[in-house]
Structure 1
Amino acid sequence: MTANVRLGNQYPTQSVIIPFTESRSEEAIGFYEKTGLESYEWQREMLKGVMAVDDDGLWVHQKFGYSLPRRNGKTEIVYMLELWALEQGLSILHTAHRISTSHSSFEKLKKYLEDSGYVEGEDFNSIKAKGQERLELYHSGGVIQFRTRTSSGGLGEGFDFLVIDEAQEYTTEQEAALKYTVTDSKNPMMVMTGTPPTPVSSGTVFTHFREKTLFGQSKYAGWAEWSVDAEKDINDVEAWYNSNPSMGYHLNER
């Protein structure tokens, strides 16, 4: 990144981060950058909060949500977390609203394992059937499953991490089916990531979580968002930079 390239706002326009002194984020970024990719400043800064730990090594935030406009690379933060979790031998459930999104995340994470030097069949195993995708890293025993959300999916299964992608579509019925999937973990975490809801978004959980966390009504919870404080002209370039942290990286004014 050249010095004269203008970057988007690298810090959330609104956030709630519980104070912390230690984070596992550098480890996660290290695994991610083994793929040959570089993380962005805003991704690194936000991951510090997501992966903050207390003196006992437990997650400071058992629940963390974040919202960005489309095309900013929000799911890359999830992939950083998932690569780290696989290396630690943990179990992850990655959910999405659409089967195409869930399968795309499976393909992306599989590619990242291969780009890190792992060989399918020797170092990791994959199940590619749509709706039942799964990756297992042999040396650690870490496993990630990819699912689309239903009102019953996840019942009876236990995981260390629960990822809610396309969280703007996360419904109360789906939450009822999934919220206990991490309760048996010694150190559980749920991460919700999505875009600002539209009038046709079916979910309400993401919006309610945002409101409760911003008003200090959610325990062990964190939140971050890039948003505008009022309706802006679509051609307002300053608003683009303020609410799109990846401007100057892979996004530009055109």
Structure 2
Amino acid sequence: MLINSPQLGKLGLQEPRVRSLPTSRVDTLVDDLLDICDLARLRNDPWQEGALEAITSVDAFGRWAATEFGLLVSRQQGKGNILLSWELAHLFLWERADGAPKLIGHTAHETRTAREAFLRAKRTILAVPALRAQLLGGGRQTAQGVSGISTGNGNWTIELENGNRVVFFTRTGGAGVGMSFDVLIVDEAQHSPLTVLEALLPTTDASPNKQVLFTGTVPKEDQDGEYFEGLRDRGRRGGHPRTGWIEHTPVGSEAPGAVIDMSDPEVWRQANPGLGIRLAWETVQDDWERMGQTNPDAFARQRLSIWPDRPDAVVESLSDLDLEAWINAAGAFPVLGATDGAVISVAVSRGGGSATVAAARRVDAGRIAVEHKKTDAGTLWVAGYVKKLKDELGNALVVLDAKNAVAVISALQGAGVKFLSMNLDEIAGAHQLFIEHTNAGMIVHRDQPEVTASLQFAGVRTLTRGGGQTWETSEAKKPITHAQAVTWATWGVLKSEATPKRERPVVRGYA
């Protein structure tokens, strides 16, 4: 029997408790998206339309205002409708500015989640003749299935005659790595460890108009959702030029230690926008009666999306870096083309399991631009990639920590790539200079979430000689090669400017 309350029978609140838009927003393309929804016979609830209106924000140049956008909402609310509407608009409506085919990625942690999203998109398209006709081969029925729809190679793909594709896959192994997505969905973002995202997120870097959409729920104790948590923190603080965030949570759930009456139907409404539309009141009532007394934490997480905050001081105490200054310095600062004084840096993870390449250049008298170029498993790819990048940037200086890059040194030498190795004093100096320049707003960069995450979770350690500091992993699953690479690239620019001009540097040993 339902609780006797005047709130019963009402719909869930359609306005999210937190709606943080990127500061670069000047308009939205939601009307275009709703047109394709009408054609596809997709009905969106008010809260879903509101989310889509925010996600499709554009800046003054017509690009997506948010290069990263997060949506936190509990299960069974209709999140899939938002993802499908967004995918259809990208697939059928919004073309790349250069006319090249667009590649859309939809990734989930669970295979069944990715497959269900594919099947729903397939059913929607095949049910609308005007959409089906645009499939590769006209969407004809063949002995193998429907033309333009593929289920091979571990991925599920829908392809149009114009070359646009949407690929559905699970985040396992190297899935998605090696592809170049224009836009990407990271569903079930509550299970998105940095060790996976550090390889997956750079697949959008080559896009002239990228956006990564994260959707998920509050992680369980055994789920690795540190990136989603970092996105949540950035979104709640707001004021970022390229970050958007929406969450449907009860009033007070953001404050550590807040007392929330989880038996109150009004609290249920605040956290469940689909209540009374796609989710029955009886279902939430049953959940409360089943878990309220025996496992209230599970009810808070699963049904109310209550995600206890760690105090900000825990994150900020990892280093002296002003993460807000770093985030606010994002903009159009690519490190491209032949540039005098360009620097390439190489950082190898402990054990040589992966490596990161970054680059830097002087922008003007007061600013240095840094950019993450590539991260991939192993180190065999590094020498060839650095040689090519060095040529593209005009014989750029290459710097690295030779003590931790033994695996790539011989390969660089074999490829004829000269480099400058950093000694312990220089590594410590690079760390201090990077933090000072970043905190002063003198380091600018393209908005690359994987670098921000690496800097956010990087700790520090004190070097045995001289007492200086350098980056150190705060946890084994939180890689720091992105942080190391941009730090060392910055040092390389300052070092080359302070060194009298001479012939290109020769290899020198580690001191």
Same fold (TM over 0.5): yes
1:13-56 CA distances to partner (integer Å, 9 max, x unpaired)? 11211253421112112212323231111111111110011222
Aligned pair count reads 249
Shift of 1:67: 0.6
Tell me which residue corresponds to 2:10.
6
Larger CA Rg, structure 1 vs 2: 2
Tell me which residue corresponds to 1:224.
246
Q: Work out whether 1:122 is the aligned partner of 2:138.
A: yes
Residues 218, 154 of structure 1: alpha-carbon distance in 2 compared, 3 angstrom cutoff: farther
| Distance in 1 between residues matched to 2:21 and 2:112, nearest whole Å | 32
| Distance in 2 between residues matched to 1:210 and 1:125, nearest whole Å | 37
1:181-218 CA distances to partner (integer Å, 9 max, x unpaired)? 11111100000000122223222110111112322485
Residues 252, 113 of structure 1: alpha-carbon distance in 2 compared, 3 angstrom cutoff: same
Q: Work out whether 1:250 is the aligned partner of 2:278.
A: yes
| Distance in 1 between residues matched to 2:154 and 2:187, nearest whole Å | 15
Bigger CA drift: 186-195 or 125-134? 125-134
User: 1:18 is matched with which residue: 11, 19, 22?
Assistant: 22
Residues 50, 81 of structure 1: alpha-carbon distance in 2 compared, 3 angstrom cutoff: same
Q: Matched residue of 1:113: which SS?
A: helix
Tell me which residue corresponds to 1:179.
201
Tell me which residue corresponds to 2:107.
95
| Distance in 1 between residues matched to 2:221 and 2:153, nearest whole Å | 29
Shift of 1:130: 7.6
Q: Work out whether 1:141 is the aligned partner of 2:163.
A: yes
1:91-141 CA distances to partner (integer Å, 9 max, x unpaired)? 111100011111111101111111222336524611124831100122x42
Q: Matched residue of 1:145: which SS?
A: strand
| Distance in 1 between residues matched to 2:71 and 2:259, nearest whole Å | 20
Q: Work out whether 1:68 is the aligned partner of 2:90.
A: no
| Distance in 2 between residues matched to 1:203 and 1:21, nearest whole Å | 31
Q: Matched residue of 1:202: which SS?
A: coil
Shift of 1:143: 0.3
| Maintained 8 Å contact 1:135/1:145 | yes
Tell me which residue corresponds to 1:108.
120
| Distance in 2 between residues matched to 1:108 and 1:39, nearest whole Å | 15
| Distance in 2 between residues matched to 1:143 and 1:183, nearest whole Å | 18
Which letter maps to 2:66? H
| Distance in 2 between residues matched to 1:52 and 1:141, nearest whole Å | 25
| Maintained 8 Å contact 2:22/2:240 | no
| Distance in 2 between residues matched to 1:182 and 1:218, nearest whole Å | 20
Identity %: 29
Q: Give me the CA root mean square deviation.
A: 2.0
Q: Work out whether 1:29 is the aligned partner of 2:34.
A: yes
Q: Matched residue of 1:71: which SS?
A: coil
Q: Work out whether 1:81 is the aligned partner of 2:93.
A: no
Q: Matched residue of 2:190: which SS?
A: helix
| Maintained 8 Å contact 1:60/1:220 | yes
Residues 21, 107 of structure 1: alpha-carbon distance in 2 compared, 3 angstrom cutoff: same
User: 1:197 is matched with which residue: 214, 219, 222?
Assistant: 219
TM-score by length of 2: 0.46
Shift of 1:225: 0.4
Shift of 1:156: 2.1
| Distance in 2 between residues matched to 1:201 and 1:41, nearest whole Å | 31
User: 2:266 is matched with which residue: 225, 229, 238?
Assistant: 238
| Distance in 2 between residues matched to 1:201 and 1:242, nearest whole Å | 25
| Distance in 1 between residues matched to 2:106 and 2:52, nearest whole Å | 18
TM-score by length of 1: 0.90
| Distance in 1 between residues matched to 2:189 and 2:153, nearest whole Å | 20
| Distance in 2 between residues matched to 1:154 and 1:25, nearest whole Å | 28
Q: Matched residue of 1:122: which SS?
A: helix
Tell me which residue corresponds to 1:209.
231
Which letter maps to 2:160? L
| Maintained 8 Å contact 1:151/1:177 | no
| Distance in 1 between residues matched to 2:154 and 2:173, nearest whole Å | 15
| Distance in 1 between residues matched to 2:54 and 2:35, nearest whole Å | 16
User: 2:59 is matched with which residue: 54, 58, 63?
Assistant: 54
Higher helix share: 2
Q: Which has the higher contact order (CA 8 A, sep 6+)?
A: 1
Shift of 1:68: 0.3
Residues 37, 217 of structure 1: alpha-carbon distance in 2 compared, 3 angstrom cutoff: closer
Which letter maps to 1:6? K
Which letter maps to 2:16? P
